[in-house]
Every structure is written in structure tokens, then in C-alpha cells.
Amino acid sequence: MSTAVPRSGIRSFYARVGKRIIDLLGSAVAIAVLSPIFLVAAALIKVSSRGPVFFYQDRPGLRGHTFRIVKFRSMRTFEDSYDAEGNELTNDQRVTPVGAVLRRTSIDELPQLFNVLVGQMSLVGPRPALLYQVERYTPEQRQRMAVRPGMTGLAQVSGRNSLTWEQKISQDLKYVRNVSLELDVRIVVRTLGVVVSGSGLRFEKHDDLSEHGGQLRRHIGEIKDGA
């Protein structure tokens, strides 16, 4: 099923031009300033568990066009995700000790600055959902993809994972309708408080949009159709 979203009408100069300029400059500066953290995180991941440093996943971006999001790997590889009796570990059990720290501090998300730099994401915008979730959107809900997905967004500072997907999308649509420099600055400031407090970090429950029916590994690309 196509995830394409029609181009939205002409909006403010900031939404059309200024936001991208800030994304470009902001991500470049952030990558330079945070490069020591990148190096330390990469080294800790490499020496503490088997597998690659980065985790890549296809996500729907601007107007539904797919791109590859990048994060620091925070979970065991599929091959290492079994206990001594051969039972498959849950996703929570698969999170490595280093990965737990990276998630708690949101450092695992920092490589997305490169997604921002190349124009696939924005510093602020709706968080990119999984492809199977987007396939369930109503035409109105698809409008959340009328802007670039963001590293942080209105839903992330309004409850984060304590919200249902319906509530998250409602906040995202509110953002899409009201994109402005002032709103982006307020979201960034509030994000700092959310990261420090760790509020809303843990995913609480699935609903009709996020329920995966036991097929999460297939939906996130760990198992391919026909495998």
C-alpha cells in the first residue's frame, strides 16, 4: 500500500525555507560539538556486545517517501537473542546494558543528526512511524507526513510513550497546522527537560495503530517476507 501524501499548500516562509536552513546549520554544528559523544558511544557498543555500531531501518518520511533512519544499536543482534534453553528473548530483554543507558539519555537517537543534515529529517517534527503503522492511517492522519519527520516533536514533549498512537498523531497534526520558529524553539527547550527527567520513556501499551500481532520482528525488518 502506498504511503504517499500530497504536497501541502503554500505555508509560511519559515515552514518552506527557514526551517530547512536551521536544520542544516543546526545539525552540522551539533555533529561537530557532539562528536566526542559519538566516538565514546560507538566504542562502548563495539566492546560490550557483538554486532554493528549502528542500527538502520526503513521509515516513511516527507510525503510518505521511505528513507533509512540511523540510530546507535541498543539491542542484541537477532542471533544473540536467545536464552540458554533456546527461548527467544523479549525486546526488553534484548536491550544491552550499554543500550539501556543510550536509550535513557536519548544518545541512541543522535546519529539521526545525519538524517537531518541530508534533508531526510528535521530537528523538530513528528517522529517517523513504522511502515506498517502508516498503512493503517486515515487520510487525515496521513497529513502528519506533510512535513519532514523530526528528532523530537510536539508529541514527544506532551507525554511521549505514555500517549496512545491516536493521541500522538493528534499532537503531530496540531504541529503540522502550526509550524513556526517559536513553536520549534519551545519544543526543543521542552525536549531538554524531557530527556533529563526521562519522563514517558517506556512504551506502555499498543492500540489499533501500533498493534503488531506478534509480527514485530517482521514489521521492523528483522525477518523478511518468505523467510
Contacts of residues 167-170 at CB distance under 8 Å and 24 or more positions apart, as own/partner, are 168/127, 169/126, 169/137, 169/141, 169/144, 169/209
Handedness of CA 212, 214, 220, 221 (dihedral sign): negative
Residue 60 makes CB contacts below 8 A (sequence gap 6+) with: 3, 66, 128, 129, 131, 134, 145, 149
For residue 130, give the nearest of 6, 215, 20, 15 by alpha carbon.
215
Question: Higher-confidence residue: 188 or 165?
Answer: 188
Q: Which helix (H) or strand (E) holds 174?
A: helix 165-177
pLDDT, residue 180, reads: 95
Q: Place 196 in a pLDDT band, splitting at 50, 70 and 90.
A: confident
Residues 24-43: tens digit of each pLDDT: 999 999 999 999 999 999 99
Question: Higher-confidence residue: 166 or 8?
Answer: 166
Between 66-70, 95-99, 158-162, 166-170, the lowest mean confidence (pLDDT) is in 158-162
Cell numbers placing 78: 537477532
User: Directed axis angle between helix 181-197 and helix 19-48, to 10°?
Assistant: 20
Q: Place 92 in a pLDDT band, splitting at 50, 70 and 90.
A: confident
pLDDT at 5 over 60: no
Cell numbers placing 213: 500481532
